[in-house]
Structure 1
Amino acid sequence: MVGIILASHGDFAEGILQSGSMIFGDQENVKAVTLMPNEGPNDIKAKMKEAIASFGDQEEVLFLVDLWGGTPFNQANSLFEEYKDKWAVVSGLNLPMLIEAYASRLSMNTAREIATHIIGTAREGIKIRPEELEIAKATAPAPSRSNTGTPGKFKYVLARIDSRLLHGQVATAWTKATQPTRIIVVSDAVTKDELRKKLIQQAAPPGVKAHVVPVDQMIKLAKDDQHFGGQRALLLFENPQDALKVVEGGVPLKTINVGSMAHSPGKVQPNKVLAFSQEDIDTFIKLKEAGLDFDVRKVPNDSKGDMNEILKKSQDELNRLRQY
């Protein structure tokens, strides 16, 4: 029997698992895995591996995830790469999709067959009242986001430091708030990692192109005034050092959004989402000296943090660690 993993931000996967059991009865080889606010990508990936290990048949696995491009999707997608001739990943999890997946397992034996079949039911389950609103939406012209080259340079709608790079908060909240035509991951390290590049490109939201370029290439692109007129660029940096390099190279950024910096040995963590080494602190000081402002928040609706206070707290903690 095909194993099913329900994956979500927060408790949604647990809740929809319970709803499915109420309607279709308890199911074997179905696990819910959740990404909680205090967890990171490695945590949910470990939960997925544990869930897969509990299935009787690990050759046929179907992931039903909440959001395309979100962390649960990205981690499922990274596991999927090794089994892409067998497994399947479907985003947009809803209750009609889950019920149809349960029913399909009675007559279908492969994850890919079930994935193909349940898409129609999932879409048909999305309805609206009054009905004329659905008709009006269907006939409205789609907004245009041209990616064709015209004279001019990039307009930078967001430059963000985020160790997770392109994930749910970027693919949804920040993309909707800033309306980019291109998401550009600027990283020498990621450029050399073909798997990470592929996963980032696959996580791009509809209508937006995702690219991975090295630092030197981004500096060259920023100086090109012949091909990027009308293009709205959202830049993603894995660390502040890469951001400083592009600023020193002439990329005209005015503000850096600081969203997430992962903890690692030698770093201090002044809050839940940011961790700093001495090199990080020194780099932010250089960015400030270069005239950049800092916008410290995970998503657009968050209140902004005070970067000066965060850096001071981090420096004090590092100094205390050196005394021991």
Structure 2
Amino acid sequence: MVGIILASHGGFAEGIYQSGEMIFGKQENVASVVLMPNEGPDDVRAKMEAAIASFDSQDEILFLVDLWGGTPFNQANNLIEAHLDKWAIVAGMNLPMVIEAYASRFSMDSAHDIAAHIIKTAKEGVKARPESLEPKEEKAVQKEEKQQGALPPGTVVGDGKIKYVLARIDSRLLHGQVATAWTKTTLPNRIIVVSDNVAHDKLRKNLIMQAAPPGVKANVVPIDKMIEVAKDPRFGNTKALLLFETPQDALRAIKGGVDLKEVNVGSMAHSVGKVAINTVLSMDEDDVKTFEEMEKMGIQFDVRKVPNDSKGKLDPLLKKAKEELANK
């Protein structure tokens, strides 16, 4: 696995390291190196050398640094001089770049390949609102996409069936862990929030659509619309990541014909009448019954926040929920 060093002036590298871990999960063979005000170039180099020595392999190393020409860059540049065939540096570090680098290690074994790949994502991660602040060429592309006509009803695209790369129950819906970690590991071309509540809430709907990661479209649809879309052969080339706010919404979609085999359980917010099962999951009696009904239908469950977490089982959590609810 390619080793990654995040390097910066001050605590920036440590902060982005923590943010990356919060969103994408704990990473092996990754280290942060910072240059503090009372330190010099030799201190940074020594930290980098220690970080490299701690990795499982020193064959492929990628440095992500804050500034081109700064001390962290210069020391990394000195170190790669003897390894130019395999080591690489990318400057202008930002969080989209770091997340993309983490995700790329699943499919790329070369520091050079990852370095070349993540530059586009780092640039696409720089956006502005209102949209009038975006460069004119970017707005032109968006306008052209909006003007493309829809396919006539009955048109069969591909095999005529949507590919569901992930179906997730998450009361937060589209947030950082989904937009980065899950999107990078499941590779959808469309994120669909399936919720009657959100579909009729203009503000929430707009915020979700704006939160879509670069290169992936986001839609918010009512449950009945999702059932209709699932049967429409025009969506045969769609690789969809579905997000449900509640297990009840997921069950209704499945009963309506949305062909899901497995559901990822990410987070369920606490509210009146619910009991906390762990730090991210709270349930009431209706939630328990809903999950049990899906189990009887043959639905499998994968309980975890981010892809790097170990897959958890739902049954022990349902048992705990029943016990807690009985003791209320």
Same fold, TM-score > 0.5, yes or no: yes
Q: Are residue 200 (structure 1) and residue 208 (structure 2) matched?
A: yes
Q: 1:311 aligns with which of 304, 313, 318?
A: 318
Q: Distance in 2 between matches of 1:208 and 1:299?
A: 19
**Corresponding residue number in structure 1 for 2:197:** 189
Shift of 1:305: 1.6
Trace 1:230-269 onto structure 2 (pairs within 5 A). Answer: 230-269=237-276
Give the superposed CA RMSD.
Answer: 3.7
Q: Are residue 289 (structure 1) and residue 296 (structure 2) matched?
A: yes
Shift of 1:199: 0.6
Q: Distance in 2 between matches of 1:178 and 1:168?
A: 15
In the comparison of the two structures, how many residue pairs are matched?
206
Q: Retained in 1: the 8 A contact 2:223–2:249? A: yes
Q: Retained in 1: the 8 A contact 2:164–2:241? A: yes
Over 3 Å counting, the alpha-carbon distance change for 1:133 and 1:301 in structure 2 is closer
Over 3 Å counting, the alpha-carbon distance change for 1:264 and 1:124 in structure 2 is same
Question: What are the Cα deviations for residues 244-287 of structure 1, in whole angstroms up to 9, with x where unaligned?
Answer: 00011011100000000001111111111100011100110111
TM-score w.r.t. length of structure 2: 0.56
Q: 2:116 aligns with which of 120, 124, 137?
A: 137
Over 3 Å counting, the alpha-carbon distance change for 1:287 and 1:134 in structure 2 is closer
Question: What are the Cα deviations for residues 144-171 of structure 1, in whole angstroms up to 9, with x where unaligned?
Answer: xx99962412100100000000001101
Q: Aligned partner of 2:212: which letter?
A: A
SS at the partner of 1:234? Answer: strand
Q: Retained in 1: the 8 A contact 2:66–2:93? A: no
Shift of 1:125: 3.0
Shift of 1:233: 0.5
Q: Are residue 222 (structure 1) and residue 230 (structure 2) matched?
A: yes
Q: Aligned partner of 2:306: which letter?
A: V
Q: 1:172 aligns with which of 180, 184, 190?
A: 180
Q: Are residue 155 (structure 1) and residue 163 (structure 2) matched?
A: yes
Q: 1:125 aligns with which of 92, 108, 112?
A: 92
Q: Aligned partner of 2:266: which letter?
A: G
**Corresponding residue number in structure 2 for 1:299:** 306
Over 3 Å counting, the alpha-carbon distance change for 1:313 and 1:175 in structure 2 is same
Shift of 1:307: 0.6
Q: Aligned partner of 2:257: which letter?
A: G
Q: Are residue 274 (structure 1) and residue 264 (structure 2) matched?
A: no
Q: Distance in 2 between matches of 1:248 and 1:282?
A: 15
Shift of 1:141: 11
Q: Distance in 2 between matches of 1:308 and 1:124?
A: 46
Shift of 1:290: 1.1
Over 3 Å counting, the alpha-carbon distance change for 1:253 and 1:17 in structure 2 is closer
Q: Distance in 2 between matches of 1:18 and 1:141?
A: 23
Q: Which runs of 4+ in 1 moved over 4 A?
A: 132-136, 146-149
Q: Retained in 1: the 8 A contact 2:195–2:245? A: yes
SS at the partner of 2:321? Answer: helix
Over 3 Å counting, the alpha-carbon distance change for 1:178 and 1:193 in structure 2 is same
Shift of 1:231: 1.2
Q: Distance in 1 between matches of 2:243 and 2:196?
A: 12
SS at the partner of 2:327? Answer: helix
Over 3 Å counting, the alpha-carbon distance change for 1:304 and 1:126 in structure 2 is closer
Over 3 Å counting, the alpha-carbon distance change for 1:193 and 1:136 in structure 2 is closer
Q: Distance in 1 between matches of 2:318 and 2:326?
A: 12
Over 3 Å counting, the alpha-carbon distance change for 1:16 and 1:310 in structure 2 is same
5+ long unaligned stretches in structure 2: 1-9, 23-64, 68-89, 95-110, 122-144, 152-156
SS at the partner of 2:191? Answer: strand
Question: What are the Cα deviations for residues 163-222 of structure 1, in whole angstroms up to 9, with x where unaligned?
Answer: 000001101110011100100000000001111111101110111000000000000000
